[in-house]
């Protein structure tokens, strides 16, 4: 039992114990297992993993049999693993050592262009470099923090590695309903975007976008049809990629029904705050709903952090921080009201749900499946309304 008095989270147990009568370790990969010597493990673990060539050996069974363990949990392997981890993060820190200066240069470009009256040019330059620059800075910062943790608290680093690996294995065991949630909404957004191209992008905003004066005249449906539109292919792809990752997390940890509810709450809350803060500026895009999912997960990460991997909340806060930083670089091109409103709405949904549930993940039930069905039908109905407006 854990500190909340609830059963252990499912990712804490990866699989049943396995017999291993031989003198070698068993290297476990899925349902397969292979014998490997201590020297073989040492060579494998001391080499820093690479993104295109990840470390082969993560899960092992000791000679004599027993539970499947992550290598970070096996005392005689921990020293080898720490050597490989230190080399990996040193390489990452060196490779991206110029990232902080690139970030400073991007911010300077935006400020200088604003001072010279050429803000669109400065933002265009910042956006072109932003995708790589922010990613490189995040990698550099993560590497520096990991090196400090390795030097000061190696046991914490090992514990985090094992917890994150167990969580990743559990998260990867997705069913067809989870895949449908992750792929379904982006496909619908893509179809709507093709119709936008047919109708004309500026015309589509006028027909179904979040045009604030029209909303104040009583066209309240625009609060939800606006988030179904996108301004460009890049805008669509960024939101689709963000949805894919967030939906898998929210669907597995809360439930697919609550993930859809959080998207609707975020889209509606984001449109409402945008209507108040920028009453004359039209807006499109699903990012308010996406921030709703982020808010939902933040509520979970904060209120159930004792049950989750240590890095869960830190990664969410890091994503939020870098999203805010990207918003600073392109502040005139992003609807910050929609982001803030969506985040708050999703967070409130999460707090409300967790007030009545103390388990993680939420257990499946008939009521949640009905909520999932209702959310899916509501989304398809909203997509239909959006298409009718675009083709009218």
Secondary structure, 3-state, 90-125:
HHHHHHCCCHHHHHHHHHHHHHHHHHCCCHHHHHHH
Predicted local confidence at residue 325, as pLDDT: 72
**Cα distance between residue 339 and residue 157, in whole Å:** 33
Predicted local confidence at residue 103, as pLDDT: 74
* Mean local confidence (pLDDT), 155-166: 92
Q: Which strands sit side by side in the sheet containing 59-61, from one edge to the other?
A: 32-36, 25-29, 59-61, 69-70
Q: Which residue has the higher pLDDT, 279 or 111?
A: 279
pLDDT band of residue 58 (cuts 50, 70, 90) is confident
pLDDT band of residue 296 (cuts 50, 70, 90) is very high
Predicted local confidence at residue 201, as pLDDT: 87
- Whether 1 shows a pLDDT value over 60: the answer reads no
pLDDT band of residue 345 (cuts 50, 70, 90) is very high
**Cα distance between residue 167 and residue 44, in whole Å:** 22
SS3 of residue 283 by DSSP? strand
**Cα distance between residue 246 and residue 259, in whole Å:** 9
> What's phi and psi for 116, nearest 5 deg?
-90, 0
- Whether 5 shows a pLDDT value over 50: the answer reads no
- Whether 134 shows a pLDDT value over 80: the answer reads no
pLDDT band of residue 108 (cuts 50, 70, 90) is confident
**Cα distance between residue 73 and residue 197, in whole Å:** 54
> What's phi and psi for 232, nearest 5 deg?
-165, 170
SS3 of residue 53 by DSSP? strand
**Cα distance between residue 294 and residue 146, in whole Å:** 24
- Whether 78 shows a pLDDT value over 70: the answer reads yes
Predicted local confidence at residue 129, as pLDDT: 56
Q: Which of 262, 265, 280 is nearest to 335 (CA)?
A: 280
- Whether 376 shows a pLDDT value over 60: the answer reads yes
Architecture of domain 175-391: Up-down Bundle (1.20)
Q: Which of 22, 21, 12 is nearest to 68 (CA)?
A: 12
pLDDT band of residue 50 (cuts 50, 70, 90) is low
* Mean local confidence (pLDDT), 66-79: 92
- Whether 204 shows a pLDDT value over 90: the answer reads yes
Predicted local confidence at residue 147, as pLDDT: 95
Q: Which helix (H) or strand (E) segment is 259 a member of? A: helix 256-277
Q: What is the pLDDT of residues 233-277, one digit of tens each?
A: 989 999 999 999 999 999 999 999 999 999 999 999 999 999 999
Predicted local confidence at residue 3, as pLDDT: 41
The region that residue 74 occupies, defined by phi over 0 for left and psi between -120 and 50 for alpha, beta otherwise, is beta
Predicted local confidence at residue 18, as pLDDT: 85
Predicted local confidence at residue 348, as pLDDT: 98
pLDDT band of residue 117 (cuts 50, 70, 90) is low
pLDDT band of residue 2 (cuts 50, 70, 90) is very low
Q: How far is CA 273 from CA 30, 142, 219, 295, 325, in A?
A: 47, 33, 16, 15, 20
> Mean pLDDT across the chain, nearest whole number?
88
Q: What is the pLDDT of residues 318-328, one digit of tens each?
A: 888 877 777 66
**Cα distance between residue 272 and residue 384, in whole Å:** 22
* Mean local confidence (pLDDT), 367-378: 97
Q: What is the pLDDT of residues 25-42, one digit of tens each?
A: 988 877 778 899 999 888
> What's phi and psi for 33, nearest 5 deg?
-145, 145
pLDDT band of residue 106 (cuts 50, 70, 90) is confident
* Mean local confidence (pLDDT), 222-232: 96
Predicted local confidence at residue 359, as pLDDT: 82
Q: Which residue has the higher pLDDT, 301 or 28?
A: 301
């Amino acid at each position: 039992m854990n500190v909340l008095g609830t059963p252990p989270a499912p990712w804490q147990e990866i699989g049943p114990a396995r017999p291993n009568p031989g003198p070698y370790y068993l290297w476990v990969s899925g349902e397969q297992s292979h014998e490997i010597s201590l020297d073989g493990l040492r060579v494998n673990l001391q080499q820093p993993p690479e993104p295109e060539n990840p470390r082969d050996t993560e899960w092992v069974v000791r000679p004599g049999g027993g539970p499947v363990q992550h290598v970070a949990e096996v005392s005689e392997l921990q020293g080898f693993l720490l050597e490989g981890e230190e080399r990996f993060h040193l390489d990452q820190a060196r490779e991206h050592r110029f990232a902080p200066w690139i970030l400073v240069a991007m911010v300077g470009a935006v400020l200088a262009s604003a001072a010279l009256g050429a803000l669109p040019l400065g933002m265009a330059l910042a956006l072109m470099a932003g995708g790589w620059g922010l990613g490189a800075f995040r990698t550099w910062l993560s590497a520096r923090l990991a090196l400090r943790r390795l030097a000061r608290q190696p046991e914490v680093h090992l514990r985090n590695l094992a917890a994150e690996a167990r969580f990743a294995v559990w998260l990867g065991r997705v069913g067809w309903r989870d895949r449908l949630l992750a792929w379904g909404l982006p496909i619908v957004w893509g179809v709507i975007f093709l119709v936008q191209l047919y109708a004309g992008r500026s015309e589509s905003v006028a027909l179904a976008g979040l045009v604030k004066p029209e909303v104040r005249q009583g066209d309240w449906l625009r609060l939800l049809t606006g988030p179904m539109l996108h301004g460009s292919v890049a805008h669509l792809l960024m939101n689709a990629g963000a949805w894919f990752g967030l939906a898998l997390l929210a669907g597995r940890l809360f439930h697919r029904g609550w993930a859809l509810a959080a998207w609707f709450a975020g889209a509606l809350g984001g449109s409402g705050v945008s209507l108040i803060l920028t009453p004359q500026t039209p807006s499109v895009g699903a990012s308010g709903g996406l921030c709703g999912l982020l808010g939902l997960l933040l509520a979970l990460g904060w209120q159930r952090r004792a049950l989750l991997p240590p890095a869960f909340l830190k990664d969410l806060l890091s994503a939020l921080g870098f999203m805010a930083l990207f918003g600073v670089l392109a502040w005139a091109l992003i609807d910050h009201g929609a982001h803030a409103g969506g985040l708050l709405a999703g967070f409130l949904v999460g707090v409300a749900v967790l007030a009545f549930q103390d388990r993680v993940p939420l257990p499946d039930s008939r009521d949640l499946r009905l909520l999932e069905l209702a959310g899916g039908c509501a989304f398809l109905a909203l997509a239909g309304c959006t298409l009718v407006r675009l083709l009218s």
